A and B are shown apart, each in its own frame.
Chain A
Amino acid sequence: MTDQPPSPALPPRPRVARVVLTGSLRRTLVLQLLVVAAVVALALFIAIRISADKAAEAAQDAVLGAATQSLADGIRAEDSAVDLDLAPITFSMLSAMGEDRVFYRVDFAGQPMTGYVDLPPPPATPGGAPQFYTAPYRDHVLRLAAVTRRMLIDGKTVTALVVLGQTRLGQKAIADSIASRAALLGVGFFILAVPLSLLAARAILGPVGRVTEAVSRRGPHDLRPVNQSVPRELGPLIGALNGFILRLRGALSRTETFIAEAAHHIRTPLSTVRTEAEIALRQSQEEGTRARLRSVIRSVEESSRSAGQLLEHALVLYRTDRVDRAEFDLGALLAAQVQSFHPTADLREIALVYSAPQTPVPVLGDRLMIEAALRNILDNAIKYSPGEAQVEITLTLRDGRAETRVCDRGRGLGGSDLVELSQRFRRGGNVADIVGSGLGLTIVLEVAEASGGSFALSPRDGGGTCALFSLPLR
């Protein structure tokens, strides 16, 4: 785009609407699903990690508690002496947790008696059941259990405190191995979530794609409402689209009615002009006046023909929108059309030679539209034929198609091709002396396209043109 203003001599070029695309629903959806998956994976990891720690600690506590009890049970009061039995079983029990170091301490009446006397004491005085706590000791963090026992020594009740500590390496190793599995599980979950969210996004956005495809696959004149089944959320969008299509159809139909009315209002006075001019011509002897009247009549024919073909063109466009198909006999239709052109052809002593299969030729299509196309082809052939010539009309069946071939001995295409000639209001370079509107071939081509058929013009050997209008057989 440049900032240059458009040249005033040229009409503004129609611009294709540019849709501003802000973001992508699919990307947003996928990203959101992935964020959710990541959060879930992380939460899973943390939950497993915490419960693994707890479980490992509980396992250590159970062993430690049992060992402490067993150690405390090994203290025997014998009159004035105390006997401490450090049974090996107590310590072998502790080695179940792994290569952990074990520390103990026994106090009597608040006085350290044996073991590691600097082992951290429990935060509160425990009872008969072990009290567990965690405390740092000599570069380690220990898990400790403490119990007290009351015993009689020398007739006095003395409280014995037994503290047993163990490093937490084994517990950590177990927790770590569980955590690394949890991390693996979280990552696996996330990786699995990536394709799943892509699939989910595709499934959710699928109906949007299907509607888009259904609408964009349509022909340029297909204005039927969209009747795709869609999820409830897309309902309002489809409703709005159908409303728009309906308004467009209404506008097209009003245009057709308008053209029909306009044609009527133009043609009636034109008829008077033509007839009056013809009468005046009959009565005039003067050569100049006669030439003028002739040109009046020619112009009237030209305008009335244009009015007719505009109407027919509008009708064809309107009917292609409706797709009003039914099965009918193309042979009968073509025969009736040829029949109705006989008087016109007779006036210039043009012979219409018609040949068709004896059996019906069933085709599926819009009868009125196909009739309009056939009339235009026949009209063209007769119009451009020299007088006293022959126009051959043949209907043949070939490869599942009904081919209508209309061959004249006219002046040919004059070097133009069908693409050029079928443009609206475009006429061949060699037909200036023959009345025409330049819409006839456009109509035929549009009908052929709308009916799944084809139309071609080709030069004929020995001069003239052959028109080939082909329709698929039923």
Chain B
Amino acid sequence: MRFLLVEDTAELARSVQDLLRLNGHAVDWGATLAEAQDCLAAASYDLILLDIALPDGDGRRFLQGLRRSGQDTPVIMMTARSAVADRVDALDGGADDYLTKPFDLAELEARARAVLRRRGGAAQTVRDFADLTFDPLTATLTVAGEARELRNRELRLFEIFLGAPERIFSKDQLCDRLFSFAETVTDNAIEVYVGRLRRKLDGSRARIETVRGLGYRLTATA
């Protein structure tokens, strides 16, 4: 996905960009509303991550301006204040969702996906691998014309593999992205989800391969 991050705290903006890029997203950054305006004029984005308090104005006011000028890119507001009143204001002001800092990247992705799904999605998000087609918004995998629905963790697991085919992911790496840090995860949890994903891939040329002692990778048989 292509994100526009509008956030004035430079350190936070930099690390959020790094993290989003690690997950395979493209991110542009605007430190002010003016910079954000320039970015929007130059490129199109799947989603705007908009802070409320910015040096040159209120993000909510900016959003109202965007909506009035016909710019309907989905917007997720983020704020450190988290007061109920702020949340209501943001949603009433045309935001698609609302996140409180600090946020979990997995939650951000989940919310972004939910917003895009609600908005009808963008066609270019559909990806092909070997003989299958994957639509992350509808969480469907089409194998030889047959649609198979993925559950949330299967979907995220498949996205990780699909982001870097042939690359070996260790159990820890998968764990980091699949489970919240507040959860206690048993050792075989990853095996469970890999097993389920494999069943969904049945009959396809794509398969999840166990690399003994290292982890798993997505590969395709010729």
On A, residues with C-beta under 8 Å from B are: 260, 263-276, 278-279, 281-282, 285, 290, 294, 297-298, 300-301, 304, 307-308, 311-312, 315, 340, 342-344, 346-349, 368-369, 371-372, 375, 383, 387, 433-435
Contacts and interface: CB of A to CB of B under 8 A. Distances in A.
Interface stretch (B29-37, B54-62, B174-182): B174-182
25 contacts: A260-B83, A264-B81, A265-B80, A267-B80, A271-B16, A271-B103, A272-B9, A272-B12, A272-B102, A275-B19, A275-B105, A278-B19, A281-B176, A282-B173, A290-B172, A297-B181, A298-B182, A308-B82, A311-B82, A312-B84, A344-B110, A347-B152, A369-B84, A371-B88, A375-B84
B159 to A, nearest CB: 13
- The interface centre, meaning the residue of B101, B102, B114 with most chain A CB atoms within 10 A of its CB, is B102
Interface size class of B (residues with CB under 8 A): 35 or more
A79 B85 CA distance: 132
Given A275-B105, A298-B181, A387-B183, 5 more contacts: A282-B19, A301-B182, A312-B84, A315-B84, A340-B98
Contacts, number: 121
B153 interface: yes
Contact of A371 (B80, B84, B111, B184): B84
A267 B170 CA distance: 32
A311 B102 CA distance: 15
Contact of A264 (B12, B80, B85, B111): B80
B5 to A, nearest CB: 12
Interface string B36-80: 000000000000000001000000000000000000000000001
B84 A279 contact: no
Given A282-B22, A368-B84, A348 B180 contact: yes
A343 to B, nearest CB: 4
A268 B97 contact: no
A279 B88 contact: no
A260 B102 contact: no
B18 interface: yes
Contact of A304 (B19, B101, B184): B101
B2 interface: no
A433 B182 CA distance: 8
Nearest to B21: A279
A387 B176 CA distance: 16
A326 to B, nearest CB: 13
Nearest to A383: B182
Contacts of A311: 81-83
A297 to B, nearest CB: 4
Nearest to A275: B15
A87 to B, nearest CB: 115
B18 A268 contact: no
Contacts of A343: 97, 107, 110-111, 113-114
B11 interface: yes
B125 interface: no
Contact of B16 (A275, A281, A294): A275
A312 B83 CA distance: 6
B191 to A, nearest CB: 15
B100 interface: yes
Contacts of B85: 315, 368
B219 to A, nearest CB: 22
Contacts of B82: 263, 267, 307-308, 311-312
Contact of B151 (A276, A281, A349, A375): A349
B1 interface: no
Nearest to B152: A346
Nearest to B9: A268
Contacts of B101: 267-268, 270-271, 304
Contacts of A268: 9, 12, 80, 101
Contact of A279 (B18, B97, B98): B18
A294 B9 contact: no
A275 B18 CA distance: 9
A268 B113 CA distance: 24
Given A263-B80, A371-B88, A347 B106 contact: yes
A294 B106 contact: no
Nearest to B177: A282
A357 B215 CA distance: 49
Contacts of B181: 294, 297-298, 301
A265 B79 CA distance: 11
Nearest to B15: A275
A294 B182 CA distance: 9
A294 B113 CA distance: 26
B208 to A, nearest CB: 19
Given A275-B12, A282-B22, A308-B100, A347 B180 contact: yes
A342 to B, nearest CB: 6
A256 B181 CA distance: 30
Contacts of B102: 267, 270-275, 300-301, 304
